[in-house]
Amino acid sequence: MSRLVYILNGPNLNLLGKRQPHIYGHETLADVERDCRALATELGLELRFHQSNREYEIIDWIHEARDIACGLAINPAAFTHTSVAVLDALNTFDHPVIEVHISNVHKREEFRHRSFVSLRADGVIAGCGTLGYQLALRRIAQLAQPTA
Ligand code: DQA
């Protein structure tokens, strides 16, 4: 069974640490990736970690993950609230999907309360800061356990 997990990040998350730190904190995406890699090793998972500002790249990575990954965590960033295309791509992925938001989107502007991705996600983590990525990995490891 595959132990490969994808973690995907949407637009503007390349600026994590510099971008609105009062909302998103001071950690960079490289810090997040480093911590996720350490945890993945501990959990016996392999990791592919990507970020893009382009919707089609996120979709292509979801397609790539379809045949090889046992789970996927995604912070779709602003695409969360706009992208039927990302939702459609996730609907082609047959393994656990965890949606991650660093901030508590429900405490923010009303347009952030709607998530297309939540229609597919098996779990949603919001407002736990960058720790949310590690919580998502732990949940995927749990869901991806062989049942036999
Ligand atoms: C975000 C929340 C989104 O509303 C926003 O567009 C982001 C980041 C978060 O991680 O809290 O870019 O997904």
pTM above 0.95, yes or no: yes
Active-site annotation, residues: 24, 101
Q: Which residues contact 145 (CB under 8 A, 6 or more apart)?
A: none
pLDDT tens per residue across span 5-20:
999 999 999 999 999 9
Pocket test for ligand 1, best of 29, 55, 75, 124 (most atoms within 8 A of CB): 75
Sequence spans of domains, the chain: 4-74+92-104+122-143
Task: Determine the topology of domain 4-74+92-104+122-143 in CATH.
Answer: Rossmann fold (3.40.50)
pLDDT tens per residue across span 24-52:
999 999 999 999 999 999 999 999 999 99
